[in-house]
Amino acid sequence: MSYLVLARKWRPRKFAELVGQDHVVRALSNALDSDRVHHAVLFTGTRGVGKTTIARIFAKALNCDTGVSATPCGVCAACLEIDEGRFVDLIEVDAASRTKVEDTRELLENVLYAPSRGRYKVYLIDEVHMLSGSSFNALLKTLEEPPPHVKFLLATTDPQKLPATVLSRCLQFHLKRLPANLIAERMAEILTAESVAHDAGALALLSRAADGSLRDALSLLDQALVFGAGSVTEADVRSMLGTIDREHVIHLLDCLIAADSARLFAALQLLDEQAPDYDQVLVELALLIERLTLTQLVPNSGADAGFDSATLTRLAAAIAAEDLQLYYQICILGRRDLSFAPEPRIGFEMTLLRMLAFRPMSASEEMLAAVSESAAPAPRVTSVASSARTPVRPNEQSVDRPASVADDWQQMLGQLGVSGAAHQLGANCSWVGREGNVVRLRLDKRSEALRTPSTEERLAQAVAKYLGSAVQLVIERDEADVIDPVVRADTPARRDALGREQEIAQARAALDADPAIRALKEQFGASLQTNTVKPAR
């Protein structure tokens, strides 16, 4: 006996067995039960969502020997013949292979004749958008005013290609793409009925690969049964689909959270040994990021079939919400850029390195960095003279008004009267000292982009005006992360950032100590969203 594939064996035979198209079933059932059946119905939707299946059930409901109703008996001669594809009054046409106007005219010649066997003669035209313009013109008149014994059921995956004149003559129903969880549930029901051992993780993989199509999912399920010798396991499905173990994706994200480039590179090498589909790896990474974002916003949302809830909770607590948003955007754009990369692996590697490079430093990390820098030995600094020099004119009358410490440089900067880029340049410099008519500043290396000839010129002129004498401004570039503790490294910009962090910390402490907030926590289990706390101004 020949094997019947699952998509055909488990094709719904009545409206109650349809999955995920309740809005269409409800409308058709009401029309049948109230005897308000339109003469032309158009079903649209992507492949494998049930367009022709619904049309055949509709044809059974019209021709069942027990009468027109939304619940055909399924056992009468008409129902059985329609199920077996041999009902003479159900004429199925594949428009993709019969596009010529001659084919359409030949089809319409028989419309006037009464049905041979059933109550209605039903024309089911699949992929109707493939008909030629002349064929549509030939069909229009009959489609608008068919004989009372004829019903037209049209199906298409591309309704935009249908003429407006055809659309206006049809009752239209759009069938939705099926969500992955609904597809997985249906596959589980089928495998249980077939007494086949299966994993929930395997069904989750198959349902995502089906991309909203139940028929595609069942075809993949047939393939998995053959691949797994009668069972459906996650390991076999991953091997069949070419997807990787999600533990690899979790490890990659762990490395990104820790900002550990050495571990990340080692993980990339280990992943490359498995020759994965890097586009699919980015898909898995995007799915993990989405689940983590949902876990942060809705903690009790539950775990995905492929991700352990404890793992999601651990990762969600270790990464900021804004970092997840950035990683997701980079991941999605990385998929787009894979085809432009020299090799898929290089494109994937650059996507991860982009996540690492653009990872923002938190305020607490800024504070720790400032503390560590102030306690570290001085670097070897290469002095780079500014390209904008003010002529040196020795002036014995000039007074070195600002002191040689950062406090005085911050105060001095506020009185220079500069704004915009010049002020930002000064704010990211620390005071080195003054030797006669030479004033030296040291620029934070992370702010090198602020340095341009015009901004240096503006800052030099402002310093000279403030000091009351012509000076030469020399801005040295900091080549390392460590700074001489004698030469204060805390720039005005850093001091402002640390001050804001201290204010926020004080505001959080004040809120934690507030009796009303304590009562909310104790009575309702409330928690303070610390990332939203800002000091009052």
CATH number at residue 489: 3.30.300.150
The SS3 call for residue 294 is helix
Is 99 part of any domain?
A: yes
Range of the domain at 222: 180-241
Q: Calculate the alpha carbon distances from 255 to 150, 258, 259, 487 in Å.
A: 65, 5, 6, 35
d(CA 20, CA 17): 10
Please, which pLDDT band fits residue 56 given cuts at 50, 70 and 90? very high
Give me the sign of the Cα torsion angle 487, 492, 493, 496: positive
Report yes or no on whether pTM surpasses 0.85: no
| Helix (H/G/I), strand (E/B), else coil: 150 | strand
Q: Does 152 lie in the same domain as 20?
A: yes
What's the CA gap between 291 and 305, in Å, rounded? 11
Q: In this structure, are 331 and 393 located in the same domain?
A: no
431 is a domain residue: yes
How far from the centroid of its chain's Cα atoms is residue 120's Cα? 48
CA–CA separation, 76 and 80 (whole Å): 6
Cα 87 to Cα 56: distance, rounded to the nearest angstrom: 11
Tell me: pLDDT of 400 over 70.
no
pLDDT, tens digit, 9 for 90 and up, residues 179-230: 988 999 999 999 999 999 998 888 988 998 888 899 999 999 999 999 988 8
pLDDT, residue 45, reads: 92
**Does some domain include residue 371?**
no
Domain shared by 257 and 404, yes or no: no
pLDDT digits (tens, 9 = 90+) for 475-533: 888 765 544 443 445 688 888 878 888 888 888 888 888 887 877 777 777 777 776 77
Q: Is the pLDDT of residue 473 over 70?
A: yes
> Where do we find the tokens 């299966």?
198
In this prediction, residue 332 carries a pLDDT of: 93
Residues 60, 143, single domain; the answer is: yes
Taking residue 250's Cβ as centre, other Cβ atoms within 10 Å add up to: 19
The pLDDT value recorded for residue 302 is 56
Residues 232 and 252 in one domain: no
258: exposed, middle or buried (Cβ count in 10 Å: 0-12, 13-18, 19+): exposed
221-247 residues labelled b (16+ CB within 10 A) or e (exposed)? beebbebbeeebbbebbbebbebbbbe
The per-residue pLDDT for range 96-144, each reduced to its tens digit, is 887 788 888 888 888 888 998 889 999 999 999 998 888 888 888 888 8
- The CATH code of the domain that includes 312 is 1.20.272.10
Choice between 370 and 473, residue whose per-residue pLDDT is larger: 473
Banded model confidence at residue 304, pLDDT cuts 50, 70, 90: low
Q: How far is CA 360 from CA 66, 285, 347, 354, in A?
A: 70, 19, 22, 12
Domains in the chain: how many in total?
4
On whether both 196 and 261 belong to a single domain, the answer is no
Which helix H or strand E contains 522, and what residues bound it? Answer: helix 515-524
CATH of the domain at 191: 1.10.8.60
Six-digit token string for 410: 């911050």
Q: Is 503 helix (H, G, I), strand (E, B) or coil?
A: helix
Q: How far is CA 117 from CA 40, 41, 78, 86, in A?
A: 21, 22, 8, 11
In a domain, 367, yes or no: no
398 and 308 housed in the same domain? no
The answer to whether residue 364 sits within a structural domain is no
Identify the band that residue 398 occupies on the pLDDT scale cut at 50, 70 and 90.
very low
Q: Are residues 506 and 428 in the same domain?
A: yes
Structure-token pair, residue 91: 């004429």
Choose one of 326, 357, 388: the last residue of a domain.
Answer: 357
pLDDT reported for residue 142: 87
- pLDDT band of residue 536 (cuts 50, 70, 90) is low
Residues 392 and 512 in one domain: yes
pLDDT digit string (tens) for 223-258?
Answer: 999 998 888 998 888 888 877 778 889 999 999 988
Mean pLDDT is lowest, of 47-51, 187-191, 355-359, for 355-359
Mean pLDDT within 351-377 = 61
pLDDT of residue 535 exceeding 70: no
- DSSP class of residue 445 equals G
Q: Is residue 300 part of a domain?
A: yes
The CATH number linked to 80 is 3.40.50.300
Domain end (from 137, 155, 174): 174
Are 43 and 173 spatial neighbours (Cβ–Cβ below 8 Å)? yes
Under a CB-based contact definition with an 8 Å cutoff, are residues 473 and 437 in contact?
no
What's the distance, CA 298 to chain centroid?
17
Q: Is the same domain home to 130 and 18?
A: yes
Q: How many CA atoms lie within 13 Å of 6's alpha carbon, on the beta-carbon side?
A: 23
DSSP letter at 397? T
Q: What is the pLDDT of residue 484?
A: 43
Q: Enumerate the β-bridge partners of residue 232.
A: 198
Of 241, 258, 288, the position where a domain reaches its end is: 241
Tokens of 245: 């173990």
Same domain, 413 and 499: yes
Say yes or no to pLDDT of 299 above 90.
no
Nearest of 375, 495, 384 to residue 442 by alpha carbon: 384
**Same domain for 403 and 321:** no
pLDDT at 132: 87
pLDDT at 363 over 70: no
Mean pLDDT value across residues 167-188? 92
Is 369 inside a domain boundary? no
pLDDT at 395: 40
Is residue 334's pLDDT more than 90? yes
User: Per the domain annotation, does 337 fall within a domain?
Assistant: yes
Mean per-residue pLDDT, 287-313: 79
